[in-house]
């Protein structure tokens, strides 16, 4: 079926008018290699095929412990890209945890290098977005940290231009701990002011940060409406999301839980309702302790109510 709002590129995605690809339908996959694949001694390049066999169609490669250079060989990244295309798996990359644009000058400079290393590798493997945690507040005010993030990300984007990398988006993520920069407001504020940037909505983090904000469908709807109001229809239609159930304290996120654990939120069925209602095409990455198993569950939940 030909989508009406863009042209088809290979088997995956639709290109928008700024040259970025958007998912062609709701897609689901794990954050990192599932434990069962590791037991099979599968290599990284086997992952897309194994996900495809499970009925999944997205994968977030984890570069979370990287420093200033890519830790994957270009050749392996290219093989991963080929396998992902062959098996219709949408790739994203979770960037280094060692990024803090709120830190001292030398920390910010090292953080820029780390983010750029992640984007380079994402470009090699054809990953569409580099998800990252922008900053900690430390002793600074939220306003100061916002300005620091904006400045640092502008520098990174400029460097990406020089490198000719223009297909990979930067994805600042909504964060779950109150010590971390990354409220919905802050993340949307960055995206409003930057090219080549889109928000990564981690629903569990928003839930934890705002002390259990998702109690009914309306609570999800409000977030989607806010994104649409600030960033436009396309942004809300093509969200990159993380989902898991989460436990929190007064400081925010404590730990992740599986979908089966009813005492924790948020409830994926409610998000699924809004995805169907708004006819969205999000990429939803499962960060549940049982990664792919819960990605399959989420997909099934959505499929029941939304024939995409
Ligand atoms: Zn993250």
pLDDT single digits (tens) 245-268: 999 999 999 999 999 998 999 999
Cα 173 to middle of ligand 1, angstroms: 6
Cα 2 to middle of ligand 1, angstroms: 33
Residue 213 CB coordination number (10 Å): 17
pLDDT value, residue 300: 97
Q: How far is CA 98 from the centre of its chain?
A: 17
Per-residue model confidence as pLDDT tens digits over 117-164: 999 999 999 999 999 999 999 999 999 999 999 999 999 999 999 999
Provide Rg for the chain, Cα atoms: 18
Mean pLDDT of 173-180: 97
Cα 53 to middle of ligand 1, angstroms: 26
pLDDT value, residue 22: 86
Average pLDDT of the chain, as a whole number? 93
Structure tokens at 171: 């994805």
Residue 5 CB coordination number (10 Å): 11
Report yes or no: 267 and 295 within 8 Å, Cβ to Cβ.
no
Per-residue model confidence as pLDDT tens digits over 207-248: 999 999 999 999 999 999 999 999 999 999 999 999 999 999
Superfamily of domain 7-303: Divalent-metal-dependent TIM barrel enzymes (3.20.20.150)
Alpha helices in 35-173 (DSSP H): 35-39, 47-53, 74-86, 105-125, 142-163
Structure tokens at 256: 């992740």
Its pTM stands at: 0.94
d(C-alpha 13, C-alpha 9), whole Å: 6
Cα 1 to middle of ligand 1, angstroms: 33
pLDDT value, residue 4: 39
Cα 122 to middle of ligand 1, angstroms: 16
């Amino acid at each position: 079926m030909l989508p009406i709002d863009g042209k088809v590129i290979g088997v995956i995605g639709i290109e928008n008018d700024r040259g970025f690809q958007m998912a062609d339908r709701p897609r689901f996959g794990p954050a990192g290699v599932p434990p069962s694949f590791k037991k099979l001694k599968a290599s990284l390049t086997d992952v897309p095929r194994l996900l495809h066999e499970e009925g999944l169609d997205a994968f977030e490669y984890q570069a979370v412990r990287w420093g200033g250079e890519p830790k994957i060989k270009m050749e392996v990244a290219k093989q991963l890209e080929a396998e992902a295309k062959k098996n219709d798996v949408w790739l994203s990359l979770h960037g280094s945890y060692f990024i803090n644009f709120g830190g001292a000058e030398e920390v910010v400079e090292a953080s820029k290098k780390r983010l750029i290393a992640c984007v380079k590798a994402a470009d090699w493997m054809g990953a569409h977005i580099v998800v990252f945690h922008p900053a900690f507040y430390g002793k600074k005010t939220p306003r100061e940290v916002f300005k620091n993030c904006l400045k640092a990300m502008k520098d990174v984007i400029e460097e990406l231009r020089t490198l000719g990398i223009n297909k990979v988006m930067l994805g600042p993520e909504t964060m779950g701990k109150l010590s971390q920069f990354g409220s919905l407001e802050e993340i949307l504020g960055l995206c409003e002011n930057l090219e080549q940037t889109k928000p990564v909505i981690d629903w569990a983090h928003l839930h934890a940060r705002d002390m259990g904000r998702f109690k009914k469908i309306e609570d999800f709807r409000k977030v989607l409406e806010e994104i649409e109001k600030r960033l436009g229809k396309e942004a809300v239609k093509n969200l990159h999301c993380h989902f898991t159930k989460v436990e929190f304290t007064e400081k925010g996120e404590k730990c992740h839980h599986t979908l089966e654990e009813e005492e924790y939120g948020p409830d994926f069925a409610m998000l699924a309702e809004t995805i169907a209602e708004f006819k969205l095409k999000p990429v939803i990455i499962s960060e549940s302790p049982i990664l792919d198993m819960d990605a399959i569950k989420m997909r099934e939940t959505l499929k029941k109510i939304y024939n995409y």
